[in-house]
Structure 1
Amino acid sequence: MLSGCSSKTDTSSAGSSSVSAATKTAQAGDTCPTAAPADAGSPEWTLPGATGSVAVTGSTDTAAPVVKVDGPFSVSQTQVRTLQAGSGPVVAPTATVSVCYMGVNGRDGNVFDSSYERGEPVDFPLDGVVPGFQKAITGQKVGSTVAVAMTSADGYPKGEPRAGIEPGDTLVFAIKILGASS
């Protein structure tokens, strides 16, 4: 699997997670729900883009998030939305975080990476991921669910062919912040 939140300088091979510092060691009981909700209900964020639109419903304790793209979707500026505010400590820009996330390509609506599909969170330092992912998580509280629609410049400006990401693609992430440490 290729992780959409990896650093632009990553050189890992296809078939392995490109979150180079990621570990799959979650706290006891920390999992990412794998099932889609039976009824996603109304989206928590609907964003019209420069082209197309996206609707995001965050995850729950028992269901993965839903990201619906009316594409091709693109944004001219990275936008972050807190879907559900957490009550934990604020995430520092240099923290190592534990998250569940789903990355969706705005061009075609395809999921290119998802820890929800794998059923377990991923841990990584925020200074080792693409700028749009950093912008989404830094300053949020642990326990929050956030969504980000990021420009190509804040994601993969040159594309990431192994993930089906082309130059210029807007990326959308739904992220649940499980933990953070300095």
Structure 2
Amino acid sequence: MTDNAQTKPEIEFIDGPAPEELVITDIRVGDGAEAQAGSTVNVHYLGVDFETGEEFDSSWNRGQSINFPLASLVKGWQEGIPGMRVGGRRQLVVPPQLAYGPAGGGHRLSGRTLIFVIDLLGVQ
């Protein structure tokens, strides 16, 4: 996995079954402001499907970071970003119940375990 805040991360395939709980891995610990549950965060992120490794979304591909209130994001982000510090890079492995719900839920990623690599650029 690459570990440069200026470059899009590469996610290595994870062997074994998809986890049933949120898995949080700090790739790089930041030293800036700490994200809180009620924060609005400025992030660069990459999302891939756990099973296939297929990329489904990336702010890197759009060439700009995104600002989000944490409260408006999937539960996996709401639980996985607080405590992260600006300048950090964190990987979240998010099971369906903390992402887009069970299969058949109406979202194209319903029923999927998702992997996100998130660079925290700012906190409000």
Cα pair 1:106 1:172 within 8 Å, conserved: yes
Q: What CA distance in whole angstroms lies between the structure 2 residues aligned with 1:131 and 1:88?
A: 23
TM-score (norm 1): 0.62
Q: Which has the higher contact order (CA 8 A, sep 6+)?
A: 2
Q: What CA distance in whole angstroms lies between the structure 1 residues aligned with 2:14 and 2:90?
A: 20
Q: What CA distance in whole angstroms lies between the structure 1 residues aligned with 2:5 and 2:26?
A: 17
Aligned match of 2:48: 104
Cα pair 2:34 2:85 within 8 Å, conserved: yes
Gaps of 5+ in 2: none
Partner residue of 1:114 out of 53, 58, 71 = 58
Q: What SS class does the counterpart of residue 60 from structure 1 fall into?
A: coil
Q: What CA distance in whole angstroms lies between the structure 1 residues aligned with 2:88 and 2:68?
A: 17
1:180 maps to 2:86:
no
Task: Give, in angstroms, the shift of residue 157 of structure 1.
Answer: 1.2
Aligned CA RMSD, in angstroms, stands at 1.7
- Percent of aligned positions that are identical: 27
Counterpart of 1:88 in structure 2: which amino acid?
G
State which structure, 1 or 2, has the greater radius of gyration over its C-alpha atoms: 1
Cα pair 1:72 1:108 within 8 Å, conserved: no
Task: Give, in angstroms, the shift of residue 71 of structure 1.
Answer: 6.5
Counterpart of 1:124 in structure 2: which amino acid?
F
Cα pair 1:72 1:106 within 8 Å, conserved: no
Q: What CA distance in whole angstroms lies between the structure 1 residues aligned with 2:113 and 2:5?
A: 28
Q: What CA distance in whole angstroms lies between the structure 2 residues aligned with 1:116 and 1:59?
A: 14
Q: What CA distance in whole angstroms lies between the structure 2 residues aligned with 1:144 and 1:134?
A: 16
1:140 maps to 2:51:
no
Q: What CA distance in whole angstroms lies between the structure 1 residues aligned with 2:27 and 2:58?
A: 18
Task: Give, in angstroms, the shift of residue 152 of structure 1.
Answer: 0.7
Runs of 4+ in 1 over 2 A off after TM superposition: 68-73
Partner residue of 1:156 out of 100, 103, 111 = 100
Partner residue of 2:26 out of 78, 82, 91 = 82
Task: Give, in angstroms, the shift of residue 142 of structure 1.
Answer: 1.1
Cα gap change, 1:147 to 1:170, in 2 (>3 Å): same
1:65 maps to 2:9:
yes
Cα pair 2:43 2:121 within 8 Å, conserved: yes
Aligned match of 2:113: 170
Cα gap change, 1:61 to 1:148, in 2 (>3 Å): closer
